[in-house]
């Protein structure tokens, strides 16, 4: 069976500090990978998705970036965090086909102070 | 008009009640419909997935899609306190990677 991991689970960072969130998927090969942010009252916002190693598509311009150094590893980064980056960050995967269901990880709760 | 509208609630029902959760959407290109359940401080988990008009049943859960009205519903029978969570509808068009989510309805089932 497939498993998706995210870490850390919780993070408190000062404004202007860097960020690195990691997501890994087990039990499947060549998945589509996604980063979402969930802010209170605003629903789930797709930030990035990737269909393969080194292939990243950005949905929303911002001070965040994503990388996929390995087939089942997806990293969300920032050089300098803003207060508005606070939120619940979710990684998801789907099989290598469009319109398929996405399966979410446990999430990372980020608070920027 | 937003692409997917979902009443945020909160919705509070007694244990054993039938719950109806709904979403409306504006884009007729949407063809695939999902319901996710999200417990507090957890990631969403997939409950139901359907792509055709009509009903799909799975245990106590029934997903209903009416493409002509652009309206989808999730019914929960014999609701339990463990059903207390936020329910998100998600919709996607053919050939698209991007799910469009409703904002979620927070449900509380009172023992």
Distance from CA of B2 to the nearest CA of A (A): 12
Per-residue confidence (pLDDT) for residue A43, from 0 to 100: 83
Please compute the mean of the pLDDT values over residues A79-103 and round it to a whole number: 88
Distance from CA of B17 to the nearest CA of A (A): 27
Task: Identify the H or E element spanning B47.
Answer: strand B45-50
- The phi and psi torsions of B43 (rounded to 5 degrees) equal -75, 155
Interval A40-57: pLDDT, tens: 777 899 999 999 999 999
For the record, the structure tokens of A54 come out as: 């080194």
Per-residue confidence (pLDDT) for residue B28, from 0 to 100: 83
Cβ A90–B43 below 8 Å, yes or no? Answer: yes
Residue A74 burial (CB count, 10 A): 29
Per-residue confidence (pLDDT) for residue A98, from 0 to 100: 61
Interval A26-45: pLDDT, tens: 999 899 999 999 987 778 99
Interval B82-110: pLDDT, tens: 999 999 999 988 777 788 899 999 999 99
- DSSP class per residue in A21-78: EEEEEES-SS-EEEEEEEETTTEEEEEEEEEETTEEEESS-SSEEEEEEETTEEEEEE
> Which among B31, B43, B102 is the nearest to A43, CB-wise?
B102
CB of B66 closer than 8 Å to CB of A5:
no
Calpha distance A96→A30 (Å, rounded): 6
Per-residue confidence (pLDDT) for residue A39, from 0 to 100: 86
How many CB pairs lie under 8 A apart between chains A and B? 54
Residue A108 has pLDDT above 90, yes or no: yes
Residue A61 has pLDDT above 90, yes or no: no
CB of B29 closer than 8 Å to CB of B93:
yes
Residue A96 has pLDDT above 80, yes or no: no
Interval B8-55: pLDDT, tens: 889 999 999 999 999 999 988 888 899 999 999 999 999 999 888 889
């Amino acid at each position: 069976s497939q498993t998706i991991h995210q870490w850390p689970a919780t993070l408190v960072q000062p404004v202007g500090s860097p960020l690195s969130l990691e997501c890994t998927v087990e039990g499947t090969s060549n998945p589509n990978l996604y980063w979402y942010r969930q802010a209170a009252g605003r629903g789930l916002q797709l930030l990035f998705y990737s269909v393969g190693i080194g292939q990243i598509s950005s949905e929303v311009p911002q001070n965040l970036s994503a990388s996929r150094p390995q087939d089942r590893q997806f990293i969300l980064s920032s050089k300098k965090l803003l207060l508005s980056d606070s939120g619940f960050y979710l990684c998801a995967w789907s099989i290598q086909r469009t319109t398929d269901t996405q399966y979410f990880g446990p999430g990372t709760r980020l608070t920027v102070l | 008009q937003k692409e997917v509208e979902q009443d945020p609630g909160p919705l509070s029902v007694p244990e054993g009640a039938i719950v109806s959760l709904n979403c409306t959407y504006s884009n007729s290109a949407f063809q695939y419909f999902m319901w996710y359940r999200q417990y507090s401080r957890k990631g969403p988990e997939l409950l139901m997935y359907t792509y055709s008009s009509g009903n799909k049943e799975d245990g106590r859960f029934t997903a209903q899609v009416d493409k002509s009205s652009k309206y989808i519903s999730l019914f929960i029978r014999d609701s339990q306190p463990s059903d207390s969570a936020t329910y998100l509808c998600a919709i996607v068009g053919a050939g698209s990677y991007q799910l469009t989510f409703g904002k979620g309805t927070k449900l509380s089932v009172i023992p």
